[in-house]
Structure 1
Amino acid sequence: MADWLPPTRYWVLAIFIASALYAHFRGRVRFKLARALTDFTVLISPINAVMYLFSRAPATPYLNTAEFPELKLLRDNWRLIREEALKLNDEGYIKAASGYNDIGFNSFFRTGWKRFYLKWYDRDMASANALCPKTVELLKQIPGVKAAMFASLPPGAKLVRHRDPYAGSLRYHLGLTTPNDPGCYIEVDGQRYHWKDGEDVMFDETFIHYAENTTTHQRVILFCDVERPVYFAPIRWLNRAFGKLVMTSAATQNLESEPIGGLNKFFYHAYKVRLFFKAFKARSRTGYYVVKWALILGILAAIFL
């Protein structure tokens, strides 16, 4: 590289910062800039930026489900899917994780959210095959559905504001048994939608969103991650490779007899460190932020100076 050009490591740093800022300013609703630049999602922000830049889906919070005709199969069979979901719900299978082994949704369990996985990227869910075979068979007919689950939001439960980390998919919800009431809703980038039985909705889960059930009735939906449509085959291959190598490793279990992916095995131990720092923050908020920023700046200095 020419002597007058900055070292490669500075270009790498610039790419990560630019990608994180791109995601930060993409929606109308934003977290504070400091959070946007220190959140763990910065680690995959360059890949997300590629997904955004080459996305065939519009950069809007909600998308038209008619643009995904393959999902009509699910909508047309929503009563059949609901029947299996309600049976699982009545038998207690739709539940929170048994421990710190669900990295993607760990924070949701504290506020009442529950789930039962139907598929997760390349990981086969034996419990789903046995307990809800009709729904699983429908999902197998739609290759674009990369992950799926039954998700419950009981009365009084809520999901705090968040954005999902990976932009390689779009989120699909199909109402199965819902309050059919504006009091049970999701808000994506400031735009609110409330679930209805048999009605579906598609949104971009990398916009900031949250959900709440203020009614006295449980909400159960079919929840799917659908592959983001992109221009150019190499971008599609990149997305699928990331899903195979990284997202599959975030697989968890419905039953304790099922295997856990490598990323969740790591998360089990890493979260114990997080619990230590959460306790430290509760004792000394100032001390916590001093240590946090010292660690961040120390790591950056070690890499880039």
Structure 2
Amino acid sequence: MKWVLVLLFVASAVYVHLRGKVRHRLGRQLLDHSTFMAPVNVLMYAFSRVPTTPFLDDPGRHFPELEPLRANWQAIREEARRLRELQQIKAADGYNDVGFNSFFRRGWKRFYLKWYDDAHPSAATLCPRTTELLRQIPSVKAAMFTELPPGSELRPHRDPYAGSLRLHLGLETPNDDACYIAVDGQRYSWRDGEWTMFDETYIHWARNDSAQNRIILFCDVERPLKFGWARAFNRFVARHLIAAGASPNMEGDRTGAINRLFKYFYAVRLKAKALRERNKNLYYALKYLGVALVVAFIVWI
């Protein structure tokens, strides 16, 4: 049985690596968080009730409960504009947002509305209309306003968990093809009042090469699954693992367990980066040794 599980893990990891047209280098994929989540993600793909393509055409047809967001996009935009004036769409104040920490260095900013829970207290106070709309749509598990200023970018990456699909609703955008997201090599340029939905476990990246700012409503929507046991499993993982990535906007908002620990892991990471600058060969040797030890431990047990 142990070897069957090992083979299933390896097969799942290979499938995730080969999925889609755009792929990470093998060395990077071995250390990517999506590799460790591969068996769970393959289960999500196998039992998905919606297509597992990079983009999902016509989100409203697959998720009619989301229509109030598009219908009220101008009211949502006004709350986002007010947040920007207050300078509350911003990078994390400390090392307490492990999921998006690397994005902040390249200009990306966010304001959390909710994260696998009810609205953050700060969001309920500053964005009452948007949080009330979200409260009426239980399939939206996470939501935030995100900003991509001129000259900013997000490097190619894939998200670790396939239990959701990502919705982007344009609020204040350049309305210009120079500001875009690419998912598995397919480009989409944001437009005010228009939306798109995509599978964030494909490799994707974004750039704003225009001269204007971009603000969108960003939502993670629960992936519809074919069987009740699969839906229950998805919600269990979301509640006990993904929810631990909650990050605060300000004091009084919840910080998940993973982000409470992140500052300690980041201190170790800084030392690792310093080692890479001094001795790249030793750095990668230790990195791959760590992976090998984890695999050996799994096989041993």
Structure 2 CA distance for aligned equivalents of residues 259 and 267 of structure 1: 15
What are the superposed Cα offsets for residues 228-247 of structure 1, whole Å, 9 maximum, x if unpaired?
Answer: 01100100000111111111
Does the Cα contact within 8 Å between 1:184 and 1:195 map onto a contact in 2? yes
Q: Which residue of 1 aligns with 2:36?
A: 43
What are the superposed Cα offsets for residues 128-183 of structure 1, whole Å, 9 maximum, x if unpaired?
Answer: 00000000001111111000000000111100000000000000000000000001
C-alpha displacement of 1:123: 4.9
Code of the residue aligned with 2:204 in structure 1: it is H
Structure 2 CA distance for aligned equivalents of residues 297 and 70 of structure 1: 46
Percent of aligned positions that are identical: 54
Does the Cα contact within 8 Å between 2:119 and 2:131 map onto a contact in 1? no
Q: Which residue of 2 aligns with 1:275?
A: 270
Structure 1 CA distance for aligned equivalents of residues 76 and 190 of structure 2: 16
Does the Cα contact within 8 Å between 1:116 and 1:254 map onto a contact in 2? yes
What are the superposed Cα offsets for residues 27-46 of structure 1, whole Å, 9 maximum, x if unpaired?
Answer: 11111223223323322211
Code of the residue aligned with 1:60 in structure 2: it is T
Please give the TM-score of this superposition, normalised by the length of structure 1: 0.95
Code of the residue aligned with 2:46 in structure 1: it is L
The number of aligned residues is 298
Q: Which residue of 1 aligns with 2:193?
A: 198
Residue ranges of structure 1 left out of the alignment (5+ in a row):
1-7
Structure 1 CA distance for aligned equivalents of residues 136 and 118 of structure 2: 16
C-alpha displacement of 1:264: 0.8
Code of the residue aligned with 1:42 in structure 2: it is T
Code of the residue aligned with 2:183 in structure 1: it is V
Matches within 5 A, 1:12-161: 12-64=5-57, 65=59, 66-161=61-156
Q: Which residue of 1 aligns with 2:176?
A: 181
Code of the residue aligned with 1:129 in structure 2: it is A
Does the Cα contact within 8 Å between 1:21 and 1:36 map onto a contact in 2? no
Code of the residue aligned with 1:35 in structure 2: it is R
Does the Cα contact within 8 Å between 2:168 and 2:195 map onto a contact in 1? yes
Structure 1 runs of 4+ with >3 Å offset: none
Please give the TM-score of this superposition, normalised by the length of structure 2: 0.96
